[in-house]
Chain A
Amino acid sequence: MNCINKFMKTCLVRPCGRTISTTSGLNIYFSKTEEKARSNAVVKEAERAVGYPTSFLSLRWILNDEIANIASHIRKLLGTNHPLLKTAKSLLLRNEQATWGLIVLLVSKVAGLNSSFSELECDRTADILHSQRILAEVTEMIKTSHLIHKGLVNITASTENPSDMNFGNTLALLCGDYLLSTSFIEIARLKNFYVQETMSSTLRDLSESEFIGLRGNQNQPLPSKPLAIQKQVDIPLKFGVEPFELENVLGNMKAEWILRNVLGGGSLLGKGCQSSLILANHESHVQELGYTLGRSLALAWQASLERDLIKEETFSLVSAPVMFHLEYEPSFYTEIEKGVYDYASIDYDLIRKVVSGGPGLDKTLELQDEFSAIALDVLDKFADSESKVALTNIIKSL
């Protein structure tokens, strides 16, 4: 059963991936390749701890008829430049990075089962309940579905190849919906109302994330105009199903970033972990720890990604370095504002240069450290174990 996975991994793993040790003694060369390889090793250790590789392309998916059917439709898009192709490719080749499913499984294992669970009534492998594994998969599915739905193209009079784009949109919509409907059925089969409510609210939060703030013509997010006086606004931890309030958030650059990313992912990972702990019958204060851990980890991860992505040709204008720079130099907003009228006129090179020259990158690192610290702090409250070490390593290697 694992042969297909092994095959895929051998095709994709870099030659040095397996030989670098995870102990800190060998950190002499700090090249990017080795850093990446080290984090791959961390992920593999973690995957071993939870019983099997959790990449999106696990056997279950390959053998699924529906996916094969969908794949054949997606093939028709080859040659077009619909975003769905890029998304599909990045999903298939993502074997080396830690996935959110993996995080949910690790958190499940770290917290263990509540004492009220009897040995006999649970169905588990490697100390993780079958229901928790399903939840991990559901978390991945919802995340992927949102990613796919974000990959639609707004077709206007000036769009090239509108019928290809429309076909791509159709597929993207249906794939996303397929993943969502499968998630709902799986969640329903868990027969736990709190989990159902909680996970449904993550979809609500994800859909809200696409509406916040100013948008370009392809719904690309743009920062709001920085307020003259920046306030420290707290984005509360929401364990239930209530939506987030927007008052006082837009314009306060740090708070805006946090809200955007909580809605866009923090809530999903947080509530995924929280739900997993619900399934293990943990008390609410433990569930809340799961939420905090997941949410902070997602935010730290995002900050770390954005520090790298600003070096790319194009990058998100609401990424942390840009937001912090606007906080520091509000007058720079005029450059960004151009995107409101015509997103194509954005001068990425200029923005990259200015932001790199300012405090943006450093502050982003601070932000990442802030959330990593919260995550590690919460993690510390749990008993020591192999999976706790694995999770700690993942957080530290961001």
Chain B
Amino acid sequence: MRRVFALGENPVTTVLAMASIGSGRLCARVQEKLCQWGQYTRREAYSCVRTKIGSQTAPRVPQERQNEKHSQSLAATAASTVSAGCWHPCSRPEIAGTARSFSTMRTQQPGSLPEYQIDPYHLLEDDLKDVYIYIRDALRRGTYQDDLYEIATYYFDGHGKAIRPMVAILMARAINYHIYKEKSGLLSSQREVAMISEMIHTASLVHDDVIDQSDFRRGKPSVNVMWNHKKVTMAGDFILAVASIMIARLRNNDVTLVLSQVVTDLVQGEFMQLGSKETENERFAHYLTKTYRKTASLIANSVKSVTMLAGADEQLADVSYQYGRNLGLAFQLVDDLLDFVSSSAAMGKPTAADLKLGLATAPVLFACEKYPELNPMIMRRFQEPGDVERAFDLVHKSRGLEQTQYLAKQHCQEAVRLANLLEESPYQKGLIVAADYVLNRMK
């Protein structure tokens, strides 16, 4: 990514310029922190400045004259990065629709910098770019067969959301700073965990696509359409095998156990999806357990692993784990919500997909309260003609969507609370922003 800002002589001014904040608004402690950050974050501090996520507002006019020129060019460059075609998850002002009304969540904390927003994707740009390169490398070294390599790397082209490696690396750096302060470089083992978590996730996606017979995901035709089911299944196994070799190479028994548990959880989550429960209460508990196993477990256990690799104690590892668990649950809840509100183009995969697969997700389960006629539909997994459309309508008419969003918000707030237990750093802030992003994303 090209250099967006020119580094001024004085790091403090530069950082202030990037933050677009008048110095009068900062307290001494924060100024000192900014000083420190300016020194070691260097290129990493090329955070895109944004005033509020999810909407465009005019940039603030700073009080210092020398910052004026910088901030204006910042606004221009910020606008240009949006249109430069590089997909950036935080900047979707042009998407209208009901989802936008769900899009604000204030992340103000007492004592924090009011307008200084961290963008984790920019913060971790180099780390994330490398993750996909290394994954492809590891897969390439795993086989001499080109068609296997091709199928296996199909999803690792960098077009996915990369939430899992992003959160893992954020947590790694945040924990490293928390424990070791300035010496917060990323351990190579932590980077490996980020890669492993993305690989395990992708292997499960590949297998899911065989089951769901899905035609496209992430805006591309899904793997199934291009090759046959058997080869695709084997490619999924291959990715899992390579990830497993990498886990062994970490030479850490605890991390190995934690990550192996993830694979089991994923499979059991899928099994849970095959069956269904009778009563409403059971159903919701079943849904939450399934959601934990299918989505949250991977995120929670990978952030727990990076924390363990940093040498943290059990208590700190638990904080990360809970952060990951809450983030993961929120992520899936929003995913289930988006299935009802967004259009196909934005998502990269067709919507009402869950209903069509016979799955009753949170919005539907909430809507049952108001419309009990959904119950028999759930039991027969929306098989009868007209079920899917009717259920879709009823969900929109009910408060199901709102309630789902509220639940997701609860989990995000819990995640933010946990993140605040960590020592302040750009990465720790990034964890908070990530929770916000999970809640407000459009795709």
Contacts and interface: CB of A to CB of B under 8 A. Distances in A.
Interface of A: 66, 69-70, 73, 146, 149-150, 152-155, 166, 169-170, 173-174, 176-178, 180-182, 184-185, 187-189, 191, 193, 196-197, 200-201, 203-204, 206-208, 210-212, 215, 217-219, 241, 243-247
Contacts of B261: 185
A152 B210 contact: yes
Given A177-B207, A203-B237, A185 B264 contact: yes
A392 B248 CA distance: 34
A169 to B, nearest CB: 6
B329 to A, nearest CB: 21
30 contacts: A69-B275, A152-B210, A152-B229, A152-B230, A170-B211, A173-B207, A173-B211, A180-B237, A180-B263, A181-B266, A185-B260, A185-B263, A188-B253, A188-B257, A196-B244, A200-B247, A200-B248, A203-B237, A203-B244, A207-B235, A207-B241, A208-B145, A208-B238, A210-B230, A210-B231, A211-B148, A211-B234, A243-B142, A243-B143, A246-B145
Nearest to B213: A166
Contacts of A244: 144
B157 to A, nearest CB: 20
Q: Name which of A155, A182, A184, A187 has the most chain B CB atoms within 10 A of its CB.
A: A184
B102 to A, nearest CB: 33
A211 B229 CA distance: 12
Interface in B61-82: none
Interface of B: 141-145, 147-148, 207, 210-211, 213, 228-231, 233-235, 237-238, 240-242, 244-245, 247-249, 251, 253, 256-257, 260-261, 263-264, 266-268, 270-271, 274-275
A317 to B, nearest CB: 16
B241 A212 contact: no
Given A152-B229, A169-B229, A210-B234, A204 B253 contact: no
B270 A174 contact: yes
Contacts of B263: 177, 180-181, 184-185
Contacts of B268: 178
Contact of A200 (B244, B270, B274): B244
Contacts of A210: 230-231, 234
B256 to A, nearest CB: 5
Q: Name which of A180, A182, A191 has the most chain B CB atoms within 10 A of its CB.
A: A180
Given A152-B233, A245-B144, A173 B210 contact: yes
Contact of B271 (A174, A211, A241): A174
User: Chain B: interface secondary structure?
Assistant: helix
Given A174-B271, A180-B263, A181-B263, A201 B233 contact: no
Contacts of B211: 166, 169-170, 173-174
A207 B229 contact: no
A243 B228 contact: no
Contact of B231 (A73, A177, A197, A211): A211
User: Chain A: interface secondary structure?
Assistant: helix
B379 to A, nearest CB: 17
Nearest to A151: B230
Contacts, number: 138
A4 B260 CA distance: 32
A68 to B, nearest CB: 12
Contacts of A174: 211, 267, 270-271, 274
B191 to A, nearest CB: 19
A178 B271 contact: yes
Contacts of B237: 146, 149, 176, 180, 203, 206-207
Contact of B244 (A73, A184, A208, A246): A184
A149 B234 contact: yes
Q: Name which of A173, A185, A201, A244 has the most chain B CB atoms within 10 A of its CB.
A: A173
A247 B247 CA distance: 29
Contacts of B248: 193, 196-197, 200
A170 B71 CA distance: 55
Contact of A69 (B228, B247, B271): B271
Contacts of B235: 207
A204 B210 contact: no
Contacts of B233: 149, 152, 173, 176
B241 A201 contact: yes
A194 to B, nearest CB: 8
Contacts of B271: 66, 69-70, 174, 178
A219 B233 CA distance: 12
B135 to A, nearest CB: 15
Given A154-B228, A181-B266, A184-B260, A204 B144 contact: no
Nearest to B210: A173
A155 B229 CA distance: 7
A166 B274 CA distance: 13
A73 B274 contact: yes
A217 B231 CA distance: 11
A320 to B, nearest CB: 22
Nearest to B261: A185
Q: Name which of B230, B238, B240 has the most chain A CB atoms within 10 A of its CB.
A: B230
Nearest to B207: A173
A174 B141 CA distance: 27
Contacts of B241: 200-201, 203-204, 207
**Which 5 A-B pairs have CB atoms at the shortest separation, nearest pair first?**
A200-B244, A196-B248, A204-B241, A203-B241, A207-B238
